[in-house]
């Protein structure tokens, strides 16, 4: 396994066929949308949802970009047992949009600096916390999170048998003596059901320059192999190797065969928005290579462990014991799994709709009121069931959005807007655009703020080129050293 990373032949400088095309356009620009790092994350999250993964180890977790996503609570629980509420299609909601229901998440990295961010971003939120849209967040499932400092060459008993291991934009940073330990440790000793790996495609690097670009230009823009084993020019100064598509696939096949895993998927993510002016899109493929290994269960865990111990002993690679930096316990709400009677839920929904003066309200809007969701015990099916059972409410199942209808509309008159002795009770003082139930002062503030709807905060901030990211603000990629963040970021995804 280690020899493959050490014996990488230099690709041809350029293809002769491409030389015949003379285009005076300079080096091509490359845009990714979504940004490349998000495309990799989406690939991982799609698999986690599809396969109902509840336990995950992130090897090389960096600042916790993936872990912070996994730490977010699901909006509602999985469907309840029939003993709790009746089952049936009438109460089933969004079966095609699976949520993640993580129970255990573990991260490990060699950089304590990066891990400090991961510790902060995965800690439990306060009871009055809200999501990015200002909606209150209620957790209905407990979650355990642990963060370790250490190298993958060191065995950690806590990782044995974990459901899924993720290793994204990590292997290209591993020194030659550490890379051979990856497969025996992760697949042999830990024996996960799935292993997901991503790594940069060296083949794709040619997409950032003209086919006729001289090597001197590419050296100014990239990083000559720091190990000196090849003549290749890498995307990042810390990369120990970058594989072509063929080399990556060969390593994947060899690894799967050696450790009795199947290659569930071996592909790539990250195609530029633009077509290549020289027609190289099919030839150069995707910016990142991805693979999903799935365990063959007819082979015993004991067999893999015995083989892995033998391989690791022969490699004689040691490291310090892992250090536990943080352990977070996210506690589920006390109402979880304990829905109230249907009548109580329906009465609460009706009262909320009358309070809001809404005859029809989106199902999810009323759900994200904690007074409603906790009364349902975290089961959105309990809300649908209660509404269906009520003579005063209806479920409107529109294709795009389900809503709840208050039969007969809102009948309760609003309370007086002013106290009887309030001198400012003239109707002339009501601001334009005021909606019953809204604080008039809020309307005045909105009218005074001329820029409230004209700008965005750029919540994601600047996305640096640190490690195979290829993204800058605006999603434009220019292959140049000065566009890359050269901070020492350990194994983290942002540093690949």
With bands split at pLDDT 50, 70 and 90, how would you rate the model's confidence at 347? Answer: very high
Mean pLDDT of 454-467: 32
Q: If you count them, how many residues does the chain have? A: 496
Per domain, the residue ranges of the chain are: 2-331, 342-448
Q: Which two tokens stand for residue 116?
A: 């400090």
> 310-314 long-range CB contacts below 8 Å, 24 or more apart?
311/184, 311/188, 312/181, 312/184, 312/185, 312/188, 312/189
Q: Which pLDDT does position 219 carry in this prediction?
A: 77
Across 349-358, 407-416, 441-450, least confident range = 441-450
Query: Residue for token digits 């008159």?
Result: 413
Q: Exposed, middle or buried: residue 302 (CB in 10 Å: 0-12, 13-18, 19+)? A: exposed
Across 428-432, 457-461, 474-478, least confident range = 457-461
Instruction: Report how far residue 466's alpha carbon sits from residue 199's, in angstroms, rounded to the nearest whole number.
Output: 14
Nearest to 166 by CA among 200, 202, 192, 201: 192
Residues 6+ apart with CB under 8 A from 297: none
Instruction: Report how far residue 496's alpha carbon sits from residue 488's, in angstroms, rounded to the nearest whole number.
Output: 10
Q: Which pLDDT does position 94 carry in this prediction?
A: 75
Mean pLDDT of 248-269: 97
Nearest to 288 by CA among 226, 160, 377, 200: 200
Into which CATH architecture does domain 342-448 fall?
Orthogonal Bundle (1.10)
With bands split at pLDDT 50, 70 and 90, how would you rate the model's confidence at 156? Answer: very high
In this structure, are residues 158 and 327 in contact, taking their beta carbons and an 8 Å threshold?
no
In this structure, are residues 147 and 325 in contact, taking their beta carbons and an 8 Å threshold?
yes
One of 1.10.8.50, 3.40.50.720, 3.40.50.150, 3.30.70.141 is the CATH number of 2-331, namely 3.40.50.150
Tell me 413's DSSP state: P
Nearest to 290 by CA among 112, 458, 461, 468: 468
Nearest to 342 by CA among 391, 299, 410, 406: 391
Instruction: Report how far residue 117's alpha carbon sits from residue 110's, in angstroms, rounded to the nearest whole number.
Output: 13
Give strand pairing partners of 291: 197, 266
Q: Which pLDDT does position 83 carry in this prediction?
A: 73
With bands split at pLDDT 50, 70 and 90, how would you rate the model's confidence at 423? Answer: low
Q: Is residue 19 over pLDDT 90?
A: no
**Mind listing the pLDDT tens digit for each residue in 111-131?**
999 999 999 999 998 765 655
Mean pLDDT of 451-467: 33
Q: Which two tokens stand for residue 317?
A: 């690679």
Q: Which pLDDT does position 429 carry in this prediction?
A: 60
Instruction: Report how far residue 188's alpha carbon sits from residue 303's, in angstroms, rounded to the nearest whole number.
Output: 9
- How do strand 323-330 and strand 360-362 relate by DSSP bridges? unpaired
Q: Which pLDDT does position 446 carry in this prediction?
A: 56
Instruction: Report how far residue 31's alpha carbon sits from residue 287's, in angstroms, rounded to the nearest whole number.
Output: 11
Handedness of CA 335, 337, 343, 348 (dihedral sign): positive
**CA distance from start to end of the chain:** 21
Across 24-33, 173-182, 385-394, 454-463, least confident range = 454-463
- Among left, alpha and beta (phi > 0; psi -120 to 50; other), residue 191 is left
Q: In angstroms, what CA-CA distances link 392 with 108, 349, 354, 404? A: 53, 10, 12, 10
Share of the chain above pLDDT 90, in %: 63
Q: Cis peptide leading into 157, omega within 30 of 0? A: no
Across 9-23, 226-240, 274-288, least confident range = 9-23
Q: In the predicted model, what is the mean pLDDT of the chain? A: 82
**Mind listing the pLDDT tens digit for each residue in 172-222?**
999 999 999 999 999 999 999 999 999 999 999 999 888 878 887 777 778
Q: Which pLDDT does position 84 carry in this prediction?
A: 74
With bands split at pLDDT 50, 70 and 90, how would you rate the model's confidence at 462? Answer: very low
Q: Which pLDDT does position 428 carry in this prediction?
A: 59
Tell me 180's DSSP state: G
**Mind listing the pLDDT tens digit for each residue in 369-387?**
999 999 999 999 999 999 9
For 391-407, b/e burial (b = at least 16 CB within 10 A) is eebebeeeeeebbbbbe
DSSP H helices in 102-243:
112-121, 182-183, 215-221
Q: Which pLDDT does position 51 carry in this prediction?
A: 95
Residues 6+ apart with CB under 8 A from 157: none
Q: Cis peptide leading into 478, omega within 30 of 0? A: no
- How do strand 143-149 and strand 233-234 relate by DSSP bridges? unpaired
Handedness of CA 89, 94, 98, 104 (dihedral sign): negative
With bands split at pLDDT 50, 70 and 90, how would you rate the model's confidence at 81? Answer: confident
């Amino acid at each position: 396994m280690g020899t493959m990373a050490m014996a990488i032949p230099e690709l041809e400088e350029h293809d002769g066929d491409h030389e015949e095309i003379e285009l005076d356009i300079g080096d091509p620009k490359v845009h990714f949308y979504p940004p490349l790092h998000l495309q990799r994350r989406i690939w991982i999250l799609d698999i986690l949802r599809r396969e109902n993964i509840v336990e995950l180890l992130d090897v090389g977790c960096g600042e916790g970009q993936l872990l912070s996503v996994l730490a977010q609570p699901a909006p509602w629980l999985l469907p309840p047992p029939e003993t709790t509420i009746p089952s049936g299609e009438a109460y089933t909601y969004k079966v095609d949009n699976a949520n993640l229901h993580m129970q255990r998440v573990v991260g490990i990295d060699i950089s304590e600096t990066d891990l400090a961010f991961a510790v902060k971003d995965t800690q439990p939120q306060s009871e009055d916390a809200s999501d990015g849209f200002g909606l209150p967040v209620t957790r209905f499932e407990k979650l355990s999170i642990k963060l370790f400092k250490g190298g993958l060459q060191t065995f950690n008993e806590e990782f044995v048998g974990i459901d899924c291991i993720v290793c994204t934009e990590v292997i290209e940073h591993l020194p030659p003596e550490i890379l051979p330990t990856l497969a025996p440790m992760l697949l042999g000793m830990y024996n996960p059901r799935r292993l997901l790996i991503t790594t940069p495609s060296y083949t794709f690097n040619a997409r950032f320059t003209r086919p006729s670009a001289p090597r001197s230009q590419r050296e100014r823009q990239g990083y000559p192999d720091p190990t000196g084993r090849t003549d290749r020019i890498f995307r990042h100064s810390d990369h120990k190797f970058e594989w072509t598509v063929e080399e990556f696939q060969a390593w994947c096949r060899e690894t799967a065969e050696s450790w009795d895993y199947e290659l569930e998927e071996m592909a790539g993510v990250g195609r530029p928005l633009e077509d290549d002016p020289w027609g190289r899109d099919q030839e150069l493929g995707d910016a990142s290579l991805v693979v999903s290994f799935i365990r063959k269960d007819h082979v015993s865990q004991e067999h893999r462990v015995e083989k892995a111990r033998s391989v690791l002993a022969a490699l004689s690679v040691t490291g310090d014991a892992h250090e536990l930096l943080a352990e977070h316990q996210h506690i589920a709400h006390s109402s979880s799994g304990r829905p109230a009677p249907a009548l109580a839920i329906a009465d609460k929904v009706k009262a909320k709709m009358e309070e809001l003066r809404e005859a029809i309200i989106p199902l999810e809007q009323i759900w994200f009121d904690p007074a409603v969701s906790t009364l349902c015990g975290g089961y959105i099916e309990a809300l649908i069931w209660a509404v269906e059972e009520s003579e005063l409410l209806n479920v409107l199942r529109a294709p795009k959005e389900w809503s709840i209808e208050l039969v007969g509309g809102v009948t309760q008159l609003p309370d007086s807007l002013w106290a009887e002795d309030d001198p400012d009770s003239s109707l002339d003082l009501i601001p334009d655009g005021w909606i019953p139930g809204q604080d008039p002062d809020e309307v005045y503030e909105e009218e005074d703020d001329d820029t409230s709807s004209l700008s965005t905060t750029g919540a994601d901030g600047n996305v640096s080129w640190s490690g195979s990211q290829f993204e800058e603000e605006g999603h434009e990629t220019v292959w140049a050293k000065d566009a890359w963040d050269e901070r020492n970021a350990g194994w983290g995804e942002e540093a690949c």
